[in-house]
Amino acid sequence: MLYVKAPAKINLTLDVLYKRPDNFHEVEMVMTTVDLADRISLESREDGEIQIISTDNFVPNDHRNFAYQAARLIKDTYGIRQGVSITIEKEIPIAAGLAGGSSDAAATLKGLNELWDLGLSIDELAELGAKIGSDVSFCVYGGTALATGRGEKIKELPAPPNCWVVLAKPKIGVSTAEVYGGLKVEGLEHPNTKQMIQAIETKDYELLCSSLGNVLETVTFKLHPEVVMLKEQMKRFGADATLMSGSGPTVFGLVDSEARVSRIYNGLRGFCEEVYAVRILGERNTLA
């Protein structure tokens, strides 16, 4: 049995530049991992089957599951006859904009690389991950990075300034496809990605807070007004800066004072069940 952690990510910036001929959007995102993670257990099977077991009934246990797709891709690409049982202990909320499914896939790729002694480099695993989903390559590397293309081109960045992150997910699911489908690229107010990178490189917390931006908020806020309310409440309770992660609906707040974390956490728990207080991880993962 092999165990691998699958950490969540947040978007410090998410910009959409244009729609590509392949119908994907050209994006520019600064992402970082946080200390909220699923736990993946992998055990080889002799019957060649891929089995998904999850602690959460909402996680699909078939080909729709990204971890299943990762195992199938490894098996097909490298002619592996063994099967695998994949147990997913969920901590990351589902359909939350935190890349839970993508991180599970990345952890599965890294774990199977070790379990089946394939000897693949982290770059090779990230290349495989790009075939599964746009965030999987980033999740293979972890840490902090600028992601471009459709999200699969990864440039490593240093860890951001140390701070707390309070995450809150309202009781709704958001369709990423619907959000991107409703996005009008013309007239968008684009986040300053270069300024965000500068804030990270110089460890300037105030500049980082003022550089947060996510163009998908414009769509998700119209579809789900409760996300706007959650963001406003988080700011009112004392977060230094707030932003929706990914296509939502999770909102996060950055806080540099531990004393304020519990006040924000407790305030949000009053009307939102899924609230987490975590730290930014910031550093790249090692292989498995």
pLDDT tens digits for range 172-196:
988 888 999 999 999 899 999 999 9
Residue 30 CB partners (closer than 8 Å, separation 6+): 11, 12, 13, 144, 145, 146, 147, 157, 193, 196, 197, 200
| Catalytic, out of 9, 75, 110, 169 | 9
Active site residue 204: no
Residue whose C-alpha is closest to residue 15's, from 214, 174, 179, 166: 214
Tokens representing residue 10 in the block: 């947040």
Record the pTM: 0.95
288 pLDDT above the threshold of 50:
no
Burial of 271 (0-12, 13-18, 19+ CB in 10 A): middle
| pLDDT tens, residue by residue, 196-241 | 999 999 999 999 999 999 999 999 999 999 999 999 999 999 999 9
Query: Torsion over CA of 29, 33, 39 and 40, rounded to 10 degrees?
Result: 40
Averaged pLDDT score across all residues of the chain: 95
Does residue 9 carry a catalytic annotation? yes
Residue matched to tokens 């619907």: 178
Mean pLDDT of the region 126-133? 97
Question: What does the pLDDT average to over 116-141?
Answer: 97
pLDDT over 60 (residue 275): yes
Which residue ranges are tagged as binding site for ATP?
93-103
Candidate list 110, 135, 169, 231, residue with the active-site label: 135
- Per-residue pLDDT, averaged over 39-53, amounts to 98
